[in-house]
Amino acid sequence: MTDPNAIQPSELDQLPDRDPEETAEWQASLDAVTKAAGPHRAAYLMRRTLERAEGTGIALPKLLETDYVNTIPTAAEPAVPGDPEMEARITAWNRWNAAAMVTRGSKYGVGGHIATFASAAWLYETGFNHFFKGKEADGSGDQLYIQGHASPGIYARAFLDGRLNEHHLDNFRRESGGNGLPSYPHPRRLPWLWEFPTVSMGLGPLSAIYQARFNRYLTNRGIKDVSASHVWAFLGDGEMDEPESTAALALAAREQLDNLTFVINCNLQRLDGPVRANFKIVQELEAQFRGAGWNVVKTLWGSAWDELFQLDTTGALVRRLREVPDAQVQTYQTRDAAYIRADFFGKDPALVEMAKLLSDDKILDCFHFSRGGHEPRKVYAAYKAAVEHKGAPTVILAQTVKGHTLGTGFASKNANHQMKKLTVDEFKTMRDLLGLPIADSAFVDGVVPYGHPGADSPEVRYLQERRAALGGPAPARRVHPVAPLPAPAEKAFASFDKGSGSQNVATTMAFVRLIKDLVRDKETGKRWVPIVPDEARTFGMESLFPSLGIYSPKGQTYEPVDRDQLMYYKEAENGQILNEGITEAGSMADFIAASTSYATHGEAMIPFYIFYSMFGWQRTADQMWQLGDQLGRGFLVGATAGRTTLTGEGLQHADGHSPVIAATNPAALTYDPAFAYEIATIVKDGLRRMYGEAAPGEDPDVFYYLTVYNEPLPQPAKPQGLGIDEGIIKGLYRFNTAESAGVTVTANAPRIQLLGSGTAIHWALKAQALLAEEWGVAADVWSATSWSELRRDALEADAALLRGEERVPYVRQALQGAEGPVLAVSDYMRQVPDQIAQWVEQDYSSLGADGFGLSDTREAARRHFGVDAESIVVAALAQLAKRGEVKATAVKEAREKYGL
């Protein structure tokens, strides 16, 4: 493995050496020590020498930094294959159309970004012309995480190669009428083009790392060899402030993901101003990535700087470049040659002499235009070095100018991120700079025209030939025509219909038992991807360790301390479990990669990610939105759920609101099952919908969120009767009546309907008995498996009514004819069951665990929140008293009786 911290020999021709003979003597001394005393002694001496230099104030880069120069000098750059002049013309057309698209759309006030792609154009074009593999070869190709603000440039390229037309471009950011283009990479909005949503900044780099890791997982498990796929993540230097951007750098280095390249566009600007006004973001990022174990390639200066470096015989230029803060570099971009002579060169006598040899035009060329990220030869060299590097991921730090080629009104201006249009005169100046054959007469009524050389032009033919050679268009998303996965054996699900008898079983354990059976299925078992953030033992999953193995690219290089035990900790190169350690964000990134493998690689995988429910949606809801945008499929499982069920852990572990957050996600099907057979029914139907034969009108591109509990209770047998499975899936069915429950009530007893979800149904069942035995009230108990699905169905019914269609919400159909008022209860805040209130015809009220959680016994916590069986009884009597069906005094008597 190449040491990423080593000074590269290719840098040396940019660092002046005033005494090569002395340098050779030092090098010979180091060689001699290495030979005589070994490399460890040589390393020790080097480290001490560097420490001494730093301690005496000698100006050296930090140990994790190199000088502020290109990693690959001009002399070492490989020749760029193909036709550079043709590629320059193609890039010019794309620059023009990207700016034209946003400018034309500005009259609608929909916004857009011009300056980002202007700075990054060659970073993308070089990749599209020479590196990014399409999907028409092996079905996978490369995975491209495009920087969201650069999307106009990607659309412009798709327009040039015929995948989009002018109508599409004119509907940039105007999607509601059809044929529109989404603002950013949104697979759900443009699923044939975009694969990965990236504009919730920070999630792109995190997801890219875990995508590269999942590619290795697929290969090592023998699912599909995707070793030829390379993951490219295009990022902004300002985006690297997001903690998610760097959260998994060590994982990528530790697992030697040399199938991954970050390309960070260092235009030194974020949305409001400089990224590091008083510092240097490139040096900071270099140290951060080198420290994490990445290979770092800096592409900072264009070829115009070569003459300056050759004139720098004292090292003064390199020193000055290292000390100038980024905000001052940005200022040079906007000032004249006199200012640059005085401020940059005037700080050092050697630089003053150097400047005398430079014309004003040369100085302006260097400081206004010549950046490494703007020259395809330098970008090509960096990309080639990245894909050829083995043993570590690579980050390319490419310096550019934000707003490059857009004119002096844009380049390096602090406000250019918010600047949405160019004037006609600015477009004409840009046209002349790019050498485009667009006549003044093409600007009709002040509207900038789109430019296209023609479908059969040399430019378009060249572009299409290059993409054909690389495996087809990119970016592109493909859902390959594959047969639905066969349904697992029925016995895996049917075994839960019998109940648990006298055995107490928590629903968390019931779910884990179901998964244990499903992963043994001969047809689909290998496609399950169990994901857990270092809590497998909490959820009773340790028995899966020896049978499935924990994925590790190195296998198991040690003897586990529990090797003599049945459920020992087993790591394996082909392990099936992804145990990510304490990182919910990393686990979600795993889930996203696995859940979209059906499109990314044409291999349907079935991920289930099990986590403390409190640390799922609350902590990573943004990624769950990303999951929905990316059209992911799978099962999220919030274990140890509820506000009162996880005893002793307290406020920060007591989840009373995850279904509320989940209900905001249109792609999430949220269930709060009470019993083991409900879990089995939901999972079975989820597999059918997402991986089998979806019914007409059903969207398979959804994911399921199940809450399961750690409270061991008897699991009843599945009730017999028509519509039970339908009710479980749709969200509500009657579990029993007062009569079928065996409680004694009179023929004309007051009646109430108790709706409970999750563990709360057990409190409702106890309340059912108390109401009958102590108050003469008949209560029917309903299991509300999904409040949010009931609401979603009701909203769809409302929308149908507006279209003139007669449709009754399912919740109203299910409760039709049910006597008495309805009282709903859950282990969540009342907002959860209240989702359905407006569609219930009966009098409706609810109980829930609102407020912060607390540490105590389950019984005490439930009494505190007023959701225990006795509280349900009092609330039920209050409802009936309002209707005059029980005496008003009964409510007071019940409160006193139960000590409420």
Q: What is the pLDDT of residue 749?
A: 94
Q: Give yes or no for a contact between 171 and 181, defined as CB atoms under 8 angstroms apart.
A: yes
Q: What is the pLDDT of residue 13?
A: 58
What stretch of H or E contains 427?
helix 424-434
Residue 822's nearest CA partner among 896, 867, 879 is 879
Residue 636's nearest CA partner among 605, 613, 654, 663 is 613
What is the mean pLDDT of the segment spanning 244-254?
97
pLDDT tens digit sequence for 850-883: 999 999 999 999 999 999 999 999 999 999 999 9
pLDDT tens digit sequence for 423-478: 999 999 999 999 999 999 999 999 999 999 999 999 999 999 999 999 999 999 99
Report the alpha-carbon distance of residue 481 to residue 248 in Å, rounded: 34
Q: What is the pLDDT of residue 482?
A: 67
pLDDT tens digit sequence for 528-553: 999 999 888 989 899 999 999 999 99
Q: What is the pLDDT of residue 629?
A: 98
Q: What is the pLDDT of residue 420?
A: 81
Does residue 296 carry a pLDDT above 70? yes
Q: Give yes or no for a contact between 262 and 394, defined as CB atoms under 8 angstroms apart.
A: yes
Q: How confident is the model at residue 7 (pLDDT cuts 50, 70, 90)?
A: very low
What's at 541, amino acid-wise?
M
Does residue 81 carry a pLDDT above 50? yes
The string of DSSP codes covering 613-675 is GGGTHHHHHHHHHHHHHTT--EEEEEES-SSSSSTTT-GGG--S-HHHHHTT-TTEEEE---S
Q: What is the pLDDT of residue 79?
A: 95
Does residue 3 carry a pLDDT above 50? no
Residue 681's nearest CA partner among 704, 713, 700, 702 is 704
Does residue 560 carry a pLDDT above 80? yes
Report the alpha-carbon distance of residue 823 to residue 761 in Å, rounded: 12
Q: How confident is the model at residue 14 (pLDDT cuts 50, 70, 90)?
A: low
Q: What is the pLDDT of residue 19?
A: 86
pLDDT tens digit sequence for 31-55: 999 999 988 788 889 878 887 887 8
Report the alpha-carbon distance of residue 493 to residue 705 in Å, rounded: 18
Q: What is the pLDDT of residue 62?
A: 67
What is the mean pLDDT of the segment spanning 554-574?
93
Report the alpha-carbon distance of residue 409 to residue 426 in Å, rounded: 8
Burial 608-634 (b: 16+ CB within 10 A, else e): bbbbbbbbbbeebbebbbbbbbbbbbb
Residue 163's nearest CA partner among 452, 359, 440 is 452
pLDDT tens digit sequence for 675-696: 999 999 999 999 999 999 989 9
> Which of residues 846 and 15 earns the better pLDDT score?
846
Dihedrals φ, ψ of 263, to 5°? Answer: -115, 105
Q: What is the pLDDT of residue 47?
A: 77
pLDDT tens digit sequence for 329-373: 999 999 999 999 999 999 999 999 999 999 999 999 999 999 999
What is the mean pLDDT of the segment spanning 594-614?
96
Report the alpha-carbon distance of residue 128 to residue 467 in Å, rounded: 7
CA distances (Å), origin 899, targets 730, 882, 893: 38, 22, 10
Q: Give yes or no for a contact between 644 and 858, defined as CB atoms under 8 angstroms apart.
A: yes
Q: Give yes or no for a contact between 628 and 187, defined as CB atoms under 8 angstroms apart.
A: no
Does residue 887 carry a pLDDT above 90? yes
Q: What is the pLDDT of residue 795?
A: 97
Report the alpha-carbon distance of residue 513 to residue 708 in Å, rounded: 13
> Which of residues 271 and 805 earns the better pLDDT score?
805
Q: What is the pLDDT of residue 724?
A: 95
- Name residue 736's beta-bridge partners: 781
Q: How confident is the model at residue 89 (pLDDT cuts 50, 70, 90)?
A: very high
Q: Give yes or no for a contact between 225 and 216, defined as CB atoms under 8 angstroms apart.
A: no
Least confident window among 186-190, 348-352, 479-483: 479-483
Q: What's the distance, CA 786 to chain centroid?
A: 26
Residue 120's nearest CA partner among 406, 499, 493, 314 is 406
Q: How confident is the model at residue 142 (pLDDT cuts 50, 70, 90)?
A: very high
Does residue 6 carry a pLDDT above 80? no
- Name residue 505's beta-bridge partners: 713
Q: Give yes or no for a contact between 267 and 281, defined as CB atoms under 8 angstroms apart.
A: no
Residue whose tokens read 């010549």: 370
pLDDT tens digit sequence for 632-673: 999 999 999 999 998 888 888 999 999 999 999 999 999 999
- Name residue 394's beta-bridge partners: 261, 295
pLDDT tens digit sequence for 702-711: 999 999 999 9
Q: How confident is the model at residue 20 (pLDDT cuts 50, 70, 90)?
A: confident
Does residue 799 carry a pLDDT above 90? yes
Q: What is the pLDDT of residue 111?
A: 87
What is the mean pLDDT of the segment spanning 794-807?
95
Whether the model clears a pTM of 0.85, i.e. scores above it, the answer is yes
Mean pLDDT of the chain: 93
Rounded to 10 degrees, the C-alpha dihedral 87/303/324/408 comes to -50
Q: What is the pLDDT of residue 9?
A: 43
Residue 615 contacts by C-beta under 8 Å, 6 or more apart in sequence? 533, 584
